[in-house]
Amino acid sequence: MEIRRTPIGWPITGMLILCLGVLVGAGCSDDSSKPTPELEAMGGILIARGMPAGSPVQAGVVVSVDGQVVTDAVVRINETDLTYVENPAKPEETGYVGIVTAPAGTVFTLSVTAAGQTKTMQATVPGMVEIQSPTAGSVYADNADITVSWVPSTGAAVSIVMCAGSGSAAPGMLMLAGDAASCIVPANYTSPPGDRITVIGLNGSGDLPTSMDLRQWAGKNGFWVTCQDYVDVLVTS
């Protein structure tokens, strides 16, 4: 089984709204010779362990036309309309957001309309992932690998394990097949002394991005749902 480590952060790109090759207002002409604008939408739903089945969770979507973010699209997941929100305090959460219910097995349809086009995509909510090892509060030496094991969930297309927090020396993702049940987090992913790290396990379906940061989704296309479990451990020298 191949394990790939993928960065989870990239520089922020500028956001401009272009005058597209359709009639949208003064200064733009209707020129049929111009190429059809390319509509892309990337959306995701994250469900954390401990939430009651079917409880509301937040969804986020970024819409772009010809690679540039737009703020006037019509975005809907099933029967829920999403609203464009700018969050200066958390720019990674700026995008079309809304609250949806997400019991396992639910089929979500993302519908996006912009620049005279409509794009639809679907993703199914997988079962909840459950980390069995390590247990919360476990202590590891800084030169020790961490073996993570979990109960695979039904319907997962991919499994992801990552480390985050003050003790995460090399933040990244370990991406595996959906039926995987364990992996090793290398020692160089953590750092001493006594730093806390959060080991996060996710099972997902759909077109999972390599970044959970909405700012990095412009110009990409896909729709995904992940269910998340996590434990905190300590790393000592």
Confidence of residue 10 (pLDDT cuts 50, 70, 90): very low
What is the pTM for the complete model shown?
0.70
Neighbouring residues of 89: CB distance < 8 A, sequence distance ≥ 6: none
* Single residue among 124, 141, 170 that ends a domain in this structure: 124
pLDDT tens digits, 169-201: 766 677 888 888 999 988 887 776 667 788 888
Residue 58 sits in a domain whose CATH number is 2.60.40
Say whether both 120 and 136 belong to one domain: no
Domain with 218 in it: 130-236
Say whether both 116 and 164 belong to one domain: no
Mean pLDDT score of the chain: 77
58 compared with 75, residue with greater pLDDT: 75
Q: In this predicted structure, what is the pLDDT of residue 49?
A: 81
Phi first, then psi, for residue 216 (nearest 5°) are: -95, 5
Residue 182 sits in a domain whose CATH number is 2.60.40.10
* Single residue among 124, 140, 155 that ends a domain in this structure: 124
What number is the average pLDDT over the span 42-69?
Answer: 83
Say whether both 190 and 87 belong to one domain: no
% of the chain surpassing 70 pLDDT: 76
Say whether both 82 and 167 belong to one domain: no
Say whether both 231 and 141 belong to one domain: yes
What number is the average pLDDT over the span 189-215?
Answer: 73
Say whether both 115 and 149 belong to one domain: no
Q: In this predicted structure, what is the pLDDT of residue 154?
A: 83
SS (H, E, C) the chain: CCCEEECCCCCCCCCCCCCCCCCCCCCCCCCCCCCCCCEEEEEEEEEECCCCCCCEEEEEEEEEECCEECCCCEEEECCEEEEEECCCCCHHHCEEEEEEECCCCCEEEEEEEECCEEEEEEEECCCCCEEEECCCCCEEECCCCEEEEEECCCCCCEEEEEEECCCECCCCEEEEECCCCEEEECHHHECCCCEEEEEEEEEEEECCCCCCCHHHCCCCCEEEEEEEEEEEEEEEC
pLDDT of residue 112 exceeding 80, the answer is yes
Say whether both 162 and 227 belong to one domain: yes
pLDDT of residue 28 exceeding 80, the answer is no
Say whether both 24 and 118 belong to one domain: yes
Say whether both 136 and 117 belong to one domain: no
Say whether both 56 and 91 belong to one domain: yes
* Single residue among 95, 124, 153 that ends a domain in this structure: 124
Q: Report in angstroms the alpha-carbon separations of 124 from 57, 107, 161.
A: 15, 4, 20
Say whether both 92 and 143 belong to one domain: no
pLDDT tens digits, 124-153: 988 888 899 999 989 988 888 989 999 878
Residue-level length of the chain: 237
What number is the average pLDDT over the span 77-99?
Answer: 86
CA-nearest of 103, 98, 37 to 70 is 37
Say whether both 104 and 187 belong to one domain: no
Task: Tell me how many domains the chain contains.
Answer: 2
Q: In this predicted structure, what is the pLDDT of residue 4?
A: 34
Q: Report in angstroms the alpha-carbon separations of 69 from 116, 154, 187.
A: 15, 35, 39
